[in-house]
Amino acid sequence: MVLSIFICMWLSICALLSLIGGWYELAHQYRAKSQPVGKKFYVVSGSIGWPYFPVSYSSCLSAIVAESGFRLSVLFPFRILHPALFIPWSAVETVEEGRYVFIKRCVIRVHGFKRRIALYGGAGTAVAEAFNRRPNSAFERTAGK
């Protein structure tokens, strides 16, 4: 009885965090259909949501940074309503590098998504570097003229 109550509470909390932070909302448009080839990062920390009220994913994310975009997934025990995401570079509005206390991070803004994604450490640095290396779109080249 106690175990079933615990499992129901665990699943409810994980699902609620997905809804509050916006992971589930992003999954409607950016659900990963395959695993891209790229640099893999395990035990990644990050957050998603509003700047002053993000949902924190401390050491429970996996990331793959590829030429076409980046993939995020949540470790199994927390995965309810958290399908893997693949966000192509064409959907990324901005990537800002910075620090949070003493840890490097990057803040990612996705077109049409009012909240933000933050990734810490090596995964955040790799996302920022890959975003800056991507070829500029024709719109970006002509917008600067």
To which residue do tokens 């995401």 refer? 85
pLDDT digits (tens, 9 = 90+) for 71-126: 999 999 899 999 999 999 999 999 999 887 888 899 999 999 999 999 999 999 99
Question: What range defines the domain where residue 27 resides?
Answer: 2-143
Domain of residue 46, CATH code: 2.30.29.30
Nearest to 24 by CA among 89, 91, 74: 74
Token readout for 95 is: 């990537």
pTM of the full structure: 0.87
For the cut 70, the answer to whether the pLDDT of residue 137 exceeds it is no
| Residue that is written with structure tokens 């077109």 in the block | 111
Domain count, the chain: 1
Residue with tokens 């800002």: 96
